[in-house]
Amino acid sequence: MTAINNPRARVCVPVCARRADELRAAIERAAPLADVIELRLDCLDTDAQLDDALRRLPALLRARTRPFVLTFRPAGQGGRRELDAATRLDFWTRRLRPLFDDASARPDFVDLELDLVSDPRRREELLRIFDSTTLIVSRHDFAGVPADLEKIYTDATSVPRAVTKLAFHAADATDCLPPLRLLERARRDGREMIAVAMGEAGLLTRVLAPSRGAFLTYGSPDDEHATAPGQISAEDLRAIYRIDSISGRTMIAGLVGSPVAHSVSPHMHNAAFAAVGVDAVYLPFEVRDAREFARRMAHPLTRELDWNLRGFSVTAPHKGAIIETLDFVEESAREIGAVNTVVVEGSGLRGYNTDAPASLAPLEGLIDLVGARVAVLGAGGAARALLRSLRASGALATVFARDASRAHALAERFGAASERIAGARFAGFDAVVNATPLGTRGARESETPATADQLRGVRVAYDLVYNPSETRFMREARGAGCESVVGGLSMLVAQAAAQFELWTGEPAPTEVMRDAAQRRLK
């Protein structure tokens, strides 16, 4: 088997060029990021481009500075061309055959789909051709976790001297359990294996698999050229997730929610871990059912994965549902009815709410909260956390919402007044806080809970939304002449800093976290 003399986690960077004359430049861009380079020959637009690439391949292989994998994958297996078995066999046994007559131009690996080696006679022919090259025998499933996964593993590992690659789509973080279990089985069987859960929910396999024995993991050359769903860049694998330093001892933390792929929390926490020198990594966990995640992946008494999970953040829509899975919930979190931070401690899970104390951080130094009149727009979880903190600070809060009965019930719970938001005027309020999701990047980015006309006469306008950094609510407030207009970044950093301290026992490097969040938001 081809040796890769690299103590780091092996990251394979795919090159997917449409034209043969683009291959050399694409390889040169990939090389600084890669331990292995995969040439995706199925990406070439036409047969003419493929012929041209085959003429160029010997020179490219002789000049390589990294091991090469050659791949010619059909569309049904994630490739870019419609290729039946006969076409693929002709490619491997005839068209590529001249490469193997010259040892200096021989590829290090070839990736063959499992169906090509399922027939024993065909398998023997291919093994003879590639007797001095390592085979990767692969199977890709884009519909989800195959029901016959164990049989697929057995069939793939029956090919001698081959690396087994199994990749399938994950809809939930719990779908990452089968590939991680297969890695454990492959280690016991003495087999080399690549196990990947594709899609945004599968990210943790791309980051953690090398530390759990995977032969390699895949990272794209940049954010624009991923060759599989959920594939992140090789640069992010190394710079953000520090994949080269992850081991079985590494502390794991993460973000439980849906969706989570575009959260800035991994950027903040991983930068903080690096700055303080903590052996830890923070991952996004795409989760549909918080109870199942807690049972199967988090709780020390029931989880199906042996990992050093220290805790996790919780975001929408799971802040309320997670409570029933916890062994302890702090009083403020129980009163608010929302947990945004879980700590794994001993044999149980402990829940906290760091949103509440952090929610007032952006107002510090702008107004004296004792006796201040504060309008809270919205009646959801963010409003509950804010209202508890306002009550503790001595502020006089009023809840404004479209649903008057919901606003009244929430206000009564936290000793506040309530009003209907339609037609409201906020002149005379010291601060108006947007605690709704209106203005968040995405489908509702152009919306605002209050206009400039409503906000005239307000001293401070504060938006809990942090992405984008300048929301429509903030623009309306500037147009209204508010003295101070602030976004939610300071709250985001403050609540994350409190989480960091709960998990590590170390003071959080807040400026490092703020800088990381700002870089990501830009």
Catalytic residues: 319
Side-chain-facing half-sphere of 446: CA atoms under 13 Å: 1
Provide the H-helix boundaries in 169-289.
Answer: 177-189, 203-208, 234-239, 265-276
Give me the phi and psi of 446, to 5 degrees please.
-85, 0
- Residues paired with 460 in a beta bridge: 431, 484
- Which amino acid, residue 521? L
Measured between alpha carbons, how far is 260 from 338 in angstroms, rounded to an integer?
18
Measure the CA angle with vertex 276, ends 35 and 326; round to 5°: 95
- Residues paired with 138 in a beta bridge: 113, 165
Measured between alpha carbons, how far is 108 from 65 in angstroms, rounded to an integer?
12
Which of 143, 207, 173 minimizes the C-alpha distance to 296? 173
- Residues paired with 286 in a beta bridge: 257
Measured between alpha carbons, how far is 148 from 410 in angstroms, rounded to an integer?
50
Measured between alpha carbons, how far is 323 from 325 in angstroms, rounded to an integer?
5
Annotate 61-89 with DSSP letters as a single string.
HHT-SS-EEEE--BGGGT-SB---HHHHH
Measured between alpha carbons, how far is 386 from 463 in angstroms, rounded to an integer?
12
3-state secondary structure of 15: strand
Q: How many Å is the Cα radius of gyration of the chain?
A: 27
- To 10 degrees, what angle do helices 404-413 and 381-393 make? 40
3-state secondary structure of 1: coil
Measured between alpha carbons, how far is 321 from 478 in angstroms, rounded to an integer?
38
Which of 63, 58, 23, 39 minimizes the C-alpha distance to 111? 39
Measured between alpha carbons, how far is 252 from 205 in angstroms, rounded to an integer?
13
> Which DSSP helix (H) or strand (E) runs through 280?
strand 280-286
Tokens of residue 421, six digits: 């938001």
Which of 102, 105, 75 minimizes the C-alpha distance to 88? 75
Which of 205, 226, 239, 202 minimizes the C-alpha distance to 15? 226
Measured over the CA atoms of residue 112, residue 116, residue 118 and residue 120, the dihedral's sign is negative
- Which amino acid, residue 305? L
